[in-house]
């Protein structure tokens, strides 16, 4: 399968996963609900808008933080701390036994600070906009590096930390950044992935509604409908997915369980429109990731699609997928149909839900796909129920974002 053999010292592997999603707070729970076809979308109140649909996480925020830390910090920070701590435990790593200056934290985000700013402006409006009622926690809450910084403070990590602003490609971008820093020798352990607190901001919902891109349906759990002829927009979700990345040689030396190898990745820009995707650039991004992995399109067994359930976005991604994987026998699925669009966390969560396929050969379905849009036809699109296949050895994970940023990550079973 592999076209070229890479030196083990530069190979990067996943040894731990920590996540929270609207339908699960561990990979086992998340995966179980994906295979069972169980989504979890709720109605929540939104200032100025009434009720909206959202994917809401329900993790134990006090498992790794004190009440004061939660109160003074951010929701994105709490999501990141929970996921980072769970990932370290899953990898069997204790920070007490590590050189904390050699641990890096790289977290992808779509946006950050809008929640806090909106809330504080609203609060001081009740006091005639007197700034003495503006919290002194505002600045550390809203700086762009906040979620990663909160992780380092909570865990006592002294290595590099920053966030990667990559719109809805951010979960993949965080993972890519962690892999690159390991290959450069800058760190020995990378905590990498993406988080999102987007359901708390009025602006996100209002913006999508103004675009005509906010989903509506009688049943919240059927509102997110990628590829379906009756799809009408995005369901906004929060969540987080962080990975422990190590060099293969280091992971083997300590006898770590190796979940998968980060074999290839691609990042590029459309350079055409702020919102509308460009399938030509998506094709180039996927091909770059596959080539970097030393594979051909025929070697990719499963593609985790980005499709957000917007009419044009889904159709254009499918056009790109048909061009890359024509005649390859590749399978395709989508996770947003279960949890909505988790923005900065989307790519990381969607990859996580598919990683167990490398072991069991079972592909979770795309749900809410009752009437396939002919423009979204894909061979081997897994819909409504799981598919048992002969094997899954390589997965390509797509995540695309506004302002024309595209990302694709290839993970493989580690040989």
Give the helix/strand (H/E) hosting 260: strand 260-269
Torsion of CA 176, 179, 181, 182, to 10 degrees: 180
- In angstroms, the CA 322 to CA 65 distance is 46
To the query of whether residue 112 is one of the catalytic residues in this protein, the response is no
Question: Tokens 């091909």 — which residue?
Answer: 287
**CB–CB of 313/288 below 8 Å?**
no
Q: CA-based Rg of the chain, rounded to a whole angstrom?
A: 20
The end-to-end CA distance of the chain, in Å, is 11
For residue 354, how far is the Cα from the chain centroid? 12
Q: Within the chain, what is the greatest distance between any pair of CA atoms?
A: 66
Residue in 57, 83, 168, 376 annotated catalytic: 168
To the query of whether residue 138 is one of the catalytic residues in this protein, the response is no
To the query of whether residue 217 is one of the catalytic residues in this protein, the response is no
H-type alpha helices, 195-278: 202-211, 248-253
Label residues 72-95 b or e (16+ Cβ within 10 Å = b): bbbbbbbbbbbbbbbbbebbebee
- In angstroms, the CA 324 to CA 296 distance is 10
- In angstroms, the CA 324 to CA 301 distance is 13
Nearest 5°: CA angle at 165, between 160 and 166?
Answer: 125
Nearest alpha-carbon partner for 242 in 356, 137, 347, 357: 347
SS3 state of residue 311: helix
Residue in 112, 161, 217, 306 annotated catalytic: 306
H-type alpha helices, 212-309: 248-253, 279-292
Question: Tokens 């006898």 — which residue?
Answer: 255
**CB–CB of 23/15 below 8 Å?**
no
Residue in 318, 341, 364, 376 annotated catalytic: 341
For residue 387, how far is the Cα from the chain centroid? 23
Label residues 332-366 b or e (16+ Cβ within 10 Å = b): bbbbbbbbbbbbbbbbbbbbbbbbbbbeebbbbbb
- In angstroms, the CA 74 to CA 80 distance is 10
**CB–CB of 151/85 below 8 Å?**
no
Please give the positions annotated as active site. Answer: 168, 306, 341
């Amino acid at each position: 399968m592999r076209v070229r053999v890479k030196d083990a010292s530069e190979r990067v592997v996943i040894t731990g996963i920590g996540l929270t999603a609207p339908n699960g707070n561990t990979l086992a729970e998340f995966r179980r609900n994906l295979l069972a076809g169980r989504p979890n979308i709720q109605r929540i109140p939104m200032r100025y808008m009434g009720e909206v649909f959202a994917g809401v996480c329900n993790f134990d925020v006090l498992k790794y933080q004190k009440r004061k830390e939660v109160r003074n910090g951010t929701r994105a920070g709490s999501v990141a701390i929970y996921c980072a701590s769970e990932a370290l435990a899953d990898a069997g790593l204790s920070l007490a036994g590590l050189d904390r200056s050699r641990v890096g934290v790289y977290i992808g985000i779509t946006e950050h600070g809008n929640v806090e700013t909106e809330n504080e402006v609203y609060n001081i409006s009740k006091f005639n906009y007197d700034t003495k009622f503006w919290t002194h926690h505002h600045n550390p809450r809203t700086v762009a590096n906040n979620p990663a910084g909160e992780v380092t403070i909570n865990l006592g990590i002294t290595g590099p930390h920053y966030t990667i602003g990559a719109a809805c490609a951010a979960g993949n971008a965080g993972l890519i950044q962690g892999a690159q820093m390991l290959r450069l020798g800058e760190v020995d352990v990378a905590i990498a992935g993406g988080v999102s607190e987007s359901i708390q901001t009025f602006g996100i919902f209002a913006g999508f509604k103004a675009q005509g891109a906010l989903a509506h349906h009688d049943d919240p759990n059927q509102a997110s409908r990628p590829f379906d002829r009756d799809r009408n927009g995005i369901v906004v979700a929060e969540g987080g997915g962080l990975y422990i990345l190590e060099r293969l040689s280091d992971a083997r030396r300590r006898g770590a369980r190796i979940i998968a190898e980060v074999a290839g990745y691609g990042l590029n820009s459309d350079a055409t429109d702020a919102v509308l995707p460009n399938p030509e650039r998506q094709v180039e991004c996927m091909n770059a990731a596959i080539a970097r992995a030393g594979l051909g399109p025929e070697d990719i067994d499963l593609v985790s699609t980005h499709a957000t359930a917007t009419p044009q976005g889904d159709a254009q991604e499918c056009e790109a997928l048909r061009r890359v994987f024509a005649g390859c026998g590749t399978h395709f699925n989508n996770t947003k149909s279960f949890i909505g669009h988790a923005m900065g966390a989307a790519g990381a969560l969607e990859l996580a839900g598919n990683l167990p396929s490398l072991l069991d050969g079972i592909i979770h379905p795309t749900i809410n796909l009752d009437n396939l849009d002919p423009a979204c036809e894909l061979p081997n699109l897994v819909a409504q129920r799981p598919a048992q296949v002969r094997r899954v050895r390589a997965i390509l994970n797509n995540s695309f974002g506004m302002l024309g940023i595209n990302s694709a990550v290839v993970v493989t079973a580690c040989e």
